[in-house]
A and B are shown apart, each in its own frame.
Chain A
Amino acid sequence: MAEKPKLHYTRGRGKMESIRWLLAAAGVEFEEEFIEKEDLEKLRNDGSLLFQQVPMVEIDGMKMVQTRAILCYIAGKYNLYGKDLKERAWIDMYVEGTTDLMGMIMALPFQAADVKEKNIALITERATTRYFPVYEKALKDHGQDYLVGNKLSWADIHLLEAILMTEELKSDILSAFPLLQAFKTKMSNMPTIKKFLQPGSPRKPPPDENYVATVMKIFKL
Chain B
Amino acid sequence: MSGKPVLHYPNSRGRMESVRWLLAAAGVEFEEKFLEKKEDLQKLQSDGSLLFQQVPMVEIDGMKLVQTRAILNYIAGKYNLYGKDVKERALIDMYVEGMADLYELIMMNVVQPADKKEEHLANALDKATNRYFPVFEKILNHGHDFLVGNKLSRADVSLLETILVVEERKPDALAKFPLLQSFKARISNTPNIKKFLQPGSQRKPPLQEKDIPSLMAIFH
Contacts and interface: CB of A to CB of B under 8 A. Distances in A.
A194 to B, nearest CB: 29
Interface string A99-138: 0100000000000000000000000000000110010000
Query: What does DSSP make chain A's interface, helix, strand, loop or mixed?
Result: helix
Contact of A76 (B53, B86, B94): B86
A62 B90 contact: yes
Interface string B61-92: 10101111110011001100000001101100
Interface in A72-117: 72-73, 76-77, 85-86, 88-89, 92-93, 96-97, 100
A73 B89 contact: yes
A97 B67 contact: yes
A54 to B, nearest CB: 13
Given A93-B51, A96-B69, A96-B70, A86 B63 contact: yes
B194 interface: no
Contacts of B98: 50-51, 65-66
A69 interface: yes
A89 B65 contact: yes
Interface in A41-83: 50-52, 60, 62, 64-69, 72-73, 76-77
Contacts of A134: 51-52
Interface string A167-202: 000000000000000000000000000000000000
Say which size band chain A's interface belongs to.
Answer: 20 to 34
Given A85-B74, A85-B77, A89-B74, A66 B52 contact: no
Nearest to A101: B52
Given A62-B87, A66-B93, A89 B73 contact: yes
B107 to A, nearest CB: 17
A213 to B, nearest CB: 23
A64 B91 CA distance: 8
Contacts of B36: none
B73 A69 contact: no
Given A50-B98, A52-B131, A68 B61 contact: no
Contact of B90 (A73, A89, A92, A100): A73
Interface string B32-44: 0000000000000
Nearest to B130: A52
B135 interface: yes
A156 B152 CA distance: 33
Contact of A92 (B67, B86, B97): B67
Nearest to B85: A76
B52 A92 contact: no
Contacts of A69: 90, 93-94, 96-97
Contact of A51 (B51, B73, B135): B135
B167 interface: no
Nearest to A77: B86
Nearest to B98: A51
B31 interface: no
A51 B70 contact: no
A63 to B, nearest CB: 10
27 contacts: A50-B94, A50-B98, A51-B132, A51-B135, A60-B87, A62-B87, A65-B94, A66-B94, A66-B97, A68-B93, A69-B93, A72-B93, A73-B89, A76-B86, A76-B89, A85-B78, A86-B63, A89-B63, A89-B65, A89-B73, A89-B74, A92-B69, A92-B73, A93-B65, A93-B66, A97-B51, A134-B52
Interface of B: 51-53, 61, 63, 65-70, 73-74, 77-78, 86-87, 89-90, 93-94, 96-98, 101, 131-132, 135
Given A51-B101, A64-B94, A65-B94, 13 more contacts: A52-B131, A60-B87, A62-B87, A66-B98, A73-B86, A73-B93, A76-B86, A77-B86, A89-B74, A93-B51, A93-B67, A96-B70, A134-B52
Sorted from nearest, which 8 A-B pairs have the closest CB atoms? A92-B70, A69-B93, A66-B97, A96-B67, A69-B94, A93-B70, A89-B74, A73-B90
